[in-house]
């Protein structure tokens, strides 16, 4: 009844979304603030009769707004049902291990190996540097590869790379292989590689509405890249599902992209809360990695990540721990509101 393909799959496990009780939810890097009020205004006035029509398969308006926002042309933008979907299309379109394995960092977004298994792509993990930053030279030293993917800032460390380092990598990496930068968290303090796409035809940048745009429930992601790469993603989409982005998502996303003032404000707030929380961690004697994201990867000597997770869960606070060798002493803590972080800090002081 089931294919061999299916039997080979080990699915990605997202962070918990418990429905049983109210938690302070700091485990899936969601934004603590609501999306732009312009999104709510739109949803209140939706003409439901229009839902009898299929959505625009080319997301024309939303693409145009994204192009304007990021200073590129519309044909350098592709939109999908969350960046997970866009990433999946990228794996299908660009990485073919006949030319060598796909390379990604040893500790990174754990969906990458799942896509590799799904599409039968060989991969090789490249060790992080001593300070846990992504080792771009390590990608070059690793021998022939069919492409590279890494998040900037990386997950779950939160550590960002400066743009000049990515540009230097692009200058040394073969031009006929794609370099994918997953910028899910870039708005919280990183430098986007989107600035390079006009000069680097083999560079593609993946972005999401789920974090800084506070729209994880809407499922919108997009990529910025050379026209040929974007065209390839349309080919994958149109071989899979003509309409992955529904009408409501396209229209609500459009309202969000246009409200830069609101998003700049809440992003600045998240960053300020993160920096204050990092100072609290130092005061409490915890260790942490320097974060450019909306989460902090931290731990405390003598306590395992799992113990931290369980202790905080009992107090009604959810954080994420990774049952992975090398990361077991850490938890990943999403930045919430000041009030949520104050409750967390109080629980850490009392119970950990």
Stretch that binds ligand PMP, among 80-88, 93-101, 121-129, 159-167 (CB under 6 A): 80-88
> How many residues interact with ligand PMP (rule CB under 6 A)?
12
Give the whole-angstrom CA distance, residue 230 versus residue 76.
6
Residues 126-165 interacting with ligand PMP (rule: CB under 6 A)? 151, 155
Maximal CA-CA distance, the chain = 60
Report the residue from 82, 158, 225, 244 that binds ligand PMP according to the rule CB under 6 A: 82
Tokens standing for residue 276: 């204050």
Report the residue from 36, 152, 210, 223 that binds ligand PMP according to the rule CB under 6 A: 210
SS3 177: coil
Q: Is 88 in the site for ligand PMP (CB under 6 A)?
A: no
Report the residue from 58, 142, 216, 352 that binds ligand PMP according to the rule CB under 6 A: 216
Report the residue from 184, 245, 335, 344 that binds ligand PMP according to the rule CB under 6 A: 184
Helix (H) / strand (E) element for 269: namely helix 260-283
Question: Among 220, 210, 217, 167, which Cα is nearest to 188's?
Answer: 210
Q: Is 30 in the site for ligand PMP (CB under 6 A)?
A: no
With 0-12 / 13-18 / 19 or more C-beta atoms within 10 angstroms meaning exposed / middle / buried, residue 239 is exposed
Stretch that binds ligand PMP, among 81-89, 191-199, 224-232, 306-314 (CB under 6 A): 81-89
Nearer to ligand PMP, 148 or 155 (CB): 155
Q: Is 221 in the site for ligand PMP (CB under 6 A)?
A: yes
Q: How far is the CB of 167 from ligand PMP (least distance, A)?
A: 21
Stretch that binds ligand PMP, among 123-131, 208-216, 247-255, 269-277 (CB under 6 A): 208-216
Are the CB atoms for 228 and 201 separated by under 8 Å? yes
Report the residue from 109, 115, 123, 173 that binds ligand PMP according to the rule CB under 6 A: 109
Q: How far is the CB of 82 from ligand PMP (least distance, A)?
A: 3
Q: How far is the CB of 145 from ligand PMP (least distance, A)?
A: 20
Q: How far is the CB of 221 from ligand PMP (least distance, A)?
A: 4
SS3 182: strand
Length of the chain: 352
Q: How far is the CB of 94 from ligand PMP (least distance, A)?
A: 16
Q: Is 208 in the site for ligand PMP (CB under 6 A)?
A: yes
Strand intervals (E) in 106-229: 123-126, 147-151, 178-182, 203-208, 221-225
Report the residue from 27, 32, 84, 150 that binds ligand PMP according to the rule CB under 6 A: 84
- Distances from the Cα of 14 to the Cαs of 123, 221, 290, 321, in angstroms? 21, 17, 24, 12
Residues 6+ apart with CB under 8 A from 27: 15, 16, 318, 319, 320, 332, 334
Report the residue from 27, 31, 76, 83 that binds ligand PMP according to the rule CB under 6 A: 83
Are the CB atoms for 276 and 341 separated by under 8 Å? yes
Nearer to ligand PMP, 182 or 226 (CB): 182
Q: How far is the CB of 199 from ligand PMP (least distance, A)?
A: 24
Nearer to ligand PMP, 100 or 225 (CB): 225
Give CA angle at 349 (345, 352), nearest 5°. 110
Give the whole-angstrom CA distance, residue 130 versus residue 267.
30
Residues in contact with ligand PMP by the rule CB under 6 A: 82-84, 109, 151, 155, 182, 184, 208, 210, 216, 221
């Amino acid at each position: 009844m089931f294919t061999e393909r299916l039997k080979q799959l080990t699915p990605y496990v997202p962070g918990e979304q418990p429905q049983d009780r109210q938690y302070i939810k700091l485990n899936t890097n969601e934004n603590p603030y609501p999306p732009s009020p312009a999104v709510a205004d739109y949803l209140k006035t939706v003409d439901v009769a229009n839902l009898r029509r299929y959505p625009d398969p080319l997301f024309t308006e939303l693409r145009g707004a994204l192009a304007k926002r990021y200073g590129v042309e519309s044909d350098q933008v592709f939109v999908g049902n969350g960046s997970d979907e866009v990433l999946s299309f990228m794996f299908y379109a660009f990485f073919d291990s006949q030319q060598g394995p796909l390379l990604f960092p040893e500790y990174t977004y754990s969906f990458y190996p799942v896509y590799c298994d799904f599409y039968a792509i060989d991969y090789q993990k490249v060790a992080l540097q001593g300070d846990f930053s992504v080792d771009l030279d390590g990608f070059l030293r690793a021998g022939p590869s069919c492409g590279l993917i890494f998040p900037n800032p990386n997950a779950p460390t939160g550590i960002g790379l400066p743009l000049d380092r990515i540009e230097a990598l692009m200058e040394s990496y073969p031009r006929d292989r794609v370099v994918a930068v997953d910028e899910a968290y870039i708005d919280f303090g990183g430098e986007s590689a989107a600035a390079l796409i006009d000069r680097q035809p083999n560079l593609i940048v993946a972005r999401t509405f789920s974090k800084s745009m506070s729209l994880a429930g809407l499922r919108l992601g997009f990529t910025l890249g050379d026209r040929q790469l974007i065209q390839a993603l349309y080919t994958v989409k149109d071989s899979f599902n003509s309409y992955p982005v529904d009408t409501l998502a396209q229209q609500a996303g459009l309202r969000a992209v246009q409200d830069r003032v609101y998003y700049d404000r809440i992003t600045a707030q998240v960053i300020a809360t993160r920096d204050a929380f990092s100072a609290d961690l130092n005061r409490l004697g915890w260790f942490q990695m320097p974060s450019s994201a909306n989460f902090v990867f931290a731990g405390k000597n003598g306590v395992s990540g799992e113990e931290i997770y369980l202790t905080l869960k009992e107090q009604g606070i959810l954080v994420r721990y990774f049952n992975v060798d090398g990361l077991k002493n850490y938890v990943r803590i999403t930045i919430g509101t000041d009030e949520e972080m104050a409750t967390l800090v109080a629980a850490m002081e009392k119970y950990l």
